A and B are shown apart, each in its own frame.
Chain A
């Protein structure tokens, strides 16, 4: 299904999530910002990548839209789309896990909580993983672990930079310890990628928590975050319970993490593609001749060089 179809379906069938229902007003022609309440013509909002034109609030978007925002047109090749979750523990809480999977797949048209593939950003080939919060809160089970590991392994083999857009509640409890071990599995793949001196940039979006934070989200050579995203190891409520005291208002926001030295930069969604392309270029080896170019000829060189 193309991205266009996805939106078409979405508008036809109405919204699938309560949050979405609020968002879509008057057949989706207008969208209300959940932060400032401003009504914006949806088309304008979309061309601003779902960032509120009034207050700069980053409205939550999902994997299809994210991929189309980041990747050059007609360069996206999805990989490992055939991976499907199963129910290895025969897990049943209030609802059987297997039914939960089927219902979520039906609702989201996704196989699991991450899409992976190869594509280009301003002409630079990259390996990209995009988590999708709609699928069981972006939780990480065997499929998410396997898809990301394969993506990183392929990137190591083809010497590509890896970008992973994180959005996750953490490890998926319904797969028990198998989920926890995906943290180690992915980190192992990242170790080999790093050892080959290849660039890895996670992009932390709202929310990034738990086992994802305690593994690949925090292992970037460079770590970017969207404005005002919640990024945490333990959730705010858990910390409040531990401490029995009130926490600062901006606790565990991107801005707070930047202040505490845990992320490199906060990048607006509208600048994300450009920033990633810039970073990739900055990490590409310069051609060996440039080191010996005499100062006087630099001007002449920049004239003929592309970009």
Chain B
């Protein structure tokens, strides 16, 4: 988990809250110095802070949620894997000459049972981010993911994927190695696998790059995660011809967990600790683990064939159109 003693990184809408909290600190200090009892006042202010935090985080706009989803301290795939598994071992490589650090995964034990866990991994600091290419996977990342999923299918391990990427990497080498093909292949082959597949958007679900490990029996999203067809920035540049309209694009694109639940795309919304997953990563991990276990126990009741049918029908039913008969 991210170390908690580091200085918090504040998002602009958290500022009133931070001010209130620093005022509480000041009062406490002053009271101690002057030996005055302010327990009652402090309790009152703290209750107010909790309320304020709740208010702020329950009414975030899409653009603000995007900020939370991209928060540098937001728990990553590694963080969740380490927090929820009894034991785990990372596995490497696509067996085609590459090991993409933007996609991580391995065999793990979840509540006593072997599972395959994998996902995109953003860096924890600038240096790590450069190594991991900000969580933007290359074609070899998608091929590595597929290799791990094939392995899981062979050994009857459920597959748990964690989605957290701004998008698939758009670079010369990625194009040459077939970024489109790598993602497409995963989309098709994930429909073939017999084992349960649960996909969870833990942060940013960036377009095809997210979907490349996102075909499952269940799609879950953390409350402040987003899932987008194109980044609001790109959408603003194309449809508004104005990058500064990104916040409008974020609203219009319907990218929040609540929106996607309404569109029939999302199966389960995971409520985050107040203040976002980064404010209490262990609590967030606990919420995730519970939801994973509950869904797994449901999917365990089915045969491989039934799960494949469920997966097929789940995606088959997505889309809104009118049909007029001639």
Give the B-binding residues of A (Cβ under 8 A).
81-86, 88-89, 91-94, 142-143, 145-146, 149, 171, 173-185, 187-192, 194-195, 210-211, 213-219, 232-234, 238-239, 242-243, 247, 251-252, 260-262
Whether the pair B192, A214 counts as a contact (CB closer than 8 A) is no
Q: Which residues of B contact A238 (CB under 8 A)?
A: 170
Q: Contacts A187-B184, A217-B180 known; A81 to B326 CB distance under 8 Å?
A: yes
Bound-complex Cα distance A216 to B170 (A): 19
Q: Contacts A93-B252, A194-B188 known; A214 to B229 CB distance under 8 Å?
A: no
B27 at the interface (CB under 8 A from A): no
B239 at the interface (CB under 8 A from A): yes
Mark each residue of chain B from 151 to 177: 1 if its CB lies under 8 Å from any CB of chain A, else 0.
000000000000000001111101111
Stretch at the interface among B8-16, B73-81, B116-124, B208-216: B208-216
A142, A191, A233 — most chain B CB neighbours (10 Å): A233
B64 at the interface (CB under 8 A from A): no
In the complex, 19 of the A-B residue pairs with CB atoms within 8 angstroms, ordered by the A residue number, are: A82-B323, A142-B319, A180-B211, A180-B229, A183-B208, A184-B211, A184-B214, A185-B315, A185-B316, A187-B184, A187-B215, A188-B187, A189-B316, A191-B189, A192-B191, A214-B168, A238-B170, A239-B170, A251-B175
Mark each residue of chain B from 245 to 272: 1 if its CB lies under 8 Å from any CB of chain A, else 0.
0000100111100001001010000000
Whether the pair B315, A181 counts as a contact (CB closer than 8 A) is yes
Bound-complex Cα distance A21 to B238 (A): 25
Bound-complex Cα distance A201 to B150 (A): 25
Q: Which residues of B contact A185 (CB under 8 A)?
A: 315-316, 318-319
Q: Which residues of B contact A84 (CB under 8 A)?
A: 321-324
Whether the pair A239, B208 counts as a contact (CB closer than 8 A) is no
Q: Which residues of B contact A242 (CB under 8 A)?
A: 169-171
B42 nearest CB across to chain A (Å): 45
A146, A178, A179, A252 — most chain B CB neighbours (10 Å): A178
Q: Which residues of B contact A91 (CB under 8 A)?
A: 252
B227 at the interface (CB under 8 A from A): yes
Whether the pair A177, B319 counts as a contact (CB closer than 8 A) is no
Bound-complex Cα distance A195 to B194 (A): 14
Q: Contacts A93-B239, A234-B179 known; A82 to B324 CB distance under 8 Å?
A: yes
Q: Which residues of A contact B316 (CB under 8 A)?
A: 149, 185, 188-189
Bound-complex Cα distance A178 to B264 (A): 9
Inter-chain pairs besides A84-B322, A85-B322, A234-B174, 20 sampled, C-beta below 8 Å: A81-B326, A88-B263, A142-B321, A145-B319, A171-B229, A173-B230, A173-B238, A176-B254, A180-B229, A187-B184, A188-B316, A189-B316, A192-B312, A194-B188, A213-B184, A218-B185, A233-B174, A260-B176, A260-B177, A261-B178
Q: In chain A, what residue has the closest Cβ to B313?
A: A188
B317 nearest CB across to chain A (Å): 9
Closest A-B pairs by Cβ, 6 of them: A234-B170, A213-B180, A142-B319, A187-B187, A93-B239, A88-B320
